[in-house]
Chain A
Amino acid sequence: MIHLFTFKDLNIVTDTESGAVHVVSGTVYDMLSAAEHKKDRPFCVDASTQREAKEEIEELVREGLLFSEPVPEELVSPELREPVIKAMCLHIAHDCNMRCAYCFAGTGEYSGERSLLPAETGRNAIDFLLEHSGTRRNLEIDFFGGEPLMNFGVVRDLVRYGRERERELGKHIRFTLTTNGLLLDDENSAFINEHMDNVILSIDGRPEVNDRVRRTVAGGGTYEHIIGKLRRFVKAREKAGKLYYVRGTYTAYNKDFAEDVAHLASLGFGNVSVEPVVTSAEEDFALTEADIPELCAEYDRLADLMIEREKSGAPLSFFHFNIDLSQGPCVFKRAAGCGAGTEYVAVAANGDLYPCHQFVGEPAYLLGNVNAGNFENRLFDTFNTAHIFSKPACRDCWAKYWCSGGCHANAVHMNGDILRPHELVCALERKRLECAIGLAALAQM
């Protein structure tokens, strides 16, 4: 399988089964397009140019870089994986000091009571992760919420505890934290910058865009309360040479989201991610499949912004346009995806275990409790067998080895079927990958 697209003035061809990427002449592009669609077309170039193009195509086919055969599925199937858990989303607070309209956690409480994670439950969660990590050395714990800074004493305690336990067991825990920034101060920032491998800072972009959906408890805008704190935090974090992302959600209210990325970049944020909202179609701000052309055009505008900033000496890192064409993850990882329900779990503030943060509070997905010490991953097979080889839409998708099959929770919540990825998100993922590959190709021309 191949995929043909144009990016700026480049004709690009990708070979799905090898991951090869080529920039080709118009003649080669037309020939491959005709071959892909099994159509004979007249070519408006002379015979020697056609012959040369044909020979070059045949050489790449011989080398396994065009129309290559698939990797034998039985050698790389995620179903060969051991039942090991290596990553945890730890819900430090089922409470939040913001009231964002699109929050999948309700407004922090995940359809339960507002509560904070007790330190003992957190320690039990860390013990659970270590006990189930098998031979994996690198483990991950994301301090998540609600808003984790509302319970920051427990975060400190758990980092200390995690460091002690990892030394005892010869493991390495990577701590990360996701925050809305409202409670950032110099003291907690210093601790975060010392101990967190990555920090995700939530802000949607321009003040009016952010404030329309990201509200205070009293109903006011949040931008003016957080922007100074985020800038101060990032300045210190960059000085420490540590990774961060400012992360926004875009909705039907701001389909011109490239403007929001530009706004964030103009404030000095060098690492930005924005994600499409996933919500009920009944919401005013929901995105629909009718929005796809407009959203794809916006990703093109965002790519233009990246090119401009690169030329001006102030490059911007946009999370979904980063791509490692030289190596990237192995095929086992590419086939398996996010690991929810297999190697990744979420722990709620009361210690309940779920396949990932997006299932927290749903009784059908409850897997046990770290305090009670009961855990039965009865959904392991459901999640373990949901991969790019088993999802019909993925099998024939050119992007499968870069995308890895889409979000399980989105598939369940939007389509009621873990094997049926959310079509809107698929379309946007393919577009983002075209931009990412295009930018990488442009850099090599």
Chain B
Amino acid sequence: MKQIKTISKGSVKDIRNKGCGECQTSCQSACKTSCTVANQECENITTKRR
């Protein structure tokens, strides 16, 4: 493509084997007053990378 560069295809629709609940609780990470999940990792993916 000449006019569009895709940076990410996203992962919202990937619902296979997910929802395990093993990932970090977002509010515990550094904020305690907000709720963002954008900066969190999937525990399954992280574990596989290790």
Contact = CB atoms under 8 A, between A and B. Distances in A.
Interface residues of A, number: 91
Counting chain B residues whose Cβ lies within 8 A of the other chain, the interface size class is 35 or more
A381 interface: no
B16 to A, nearest CB: 9
A119 interface: no
Given A21-B6, A22-B4, A245-B30, A138 B37 contact: no
Nearest to A68: B13
Contacts of B11: 19, 326-328, 330-331
B37 A404 contact: yes
A28 B4 contact: yes
B28 A65 contact: no
Nearest to A247: B30
A2 to B, nearest CB: 12
B21 A338 contact: no
Interface stretch (A186-194, A252-260, A317-325): A317-325
Contacts of B4: 22-25, 28, 56-57, 60
From B4, B7, B36, B38, residue with most partner A Cβ within 10 Å:
B38
Contact of A324 (B31, B32, B39): B39
17 contacts: A18-B12, A20-B9, A23-B4, A24-B3, A24-B4, A138-B22, A142-B28, A247-B31, A327-B41, A329-B42, A330-B11, A333-B40, A337-B26, A344-B28, A402-B36, A403-B37, A440-B7
Interface of B: 1-15, 18-19, 21-43, 45
Given A65-B10, A329-B23, A333-B23, A178 B32 contact: yes
A249 B34 CA distance: 12
B6 A406 contact: no
Q: Which 10 A-B pairs have the closest CB atoms?
A: A19-B10, A330-B18, A332-B19, A322-B39, A325-B8, A87-B25, A402-B38, A25-B3, A19-B12, A18-B10
Contact of A273 (B8, B14, B30): B30
Interface in A345-371: 356-358
A140 B29 CA distance: 10
B13 A328 contact: no
Nearest to B24: A140
A430 B22 CA distance: 27
A253 B25 CA distance: 31
A48 to B, nearest CB: 11
Contacts of B29: 198, 319
From B11, B31, B37, residue with most partner A Cβ within 10 Å:
B37
Nearest to B9: A20
Contacts of B36: 320, 402-404, 429, 432-433
Given A76-B15, A176-B28, A406-B35, A21 B7 contact: yes
Given A76-B15, A331-B13, A407 B35 contact: yes
Nearest to B45: A327
B41 A329 contact: yes
A328 B10 CA distance: 9
Contacts of A28: 3-4
A440 B8 CA distance: 10
B37 A136 contact: no
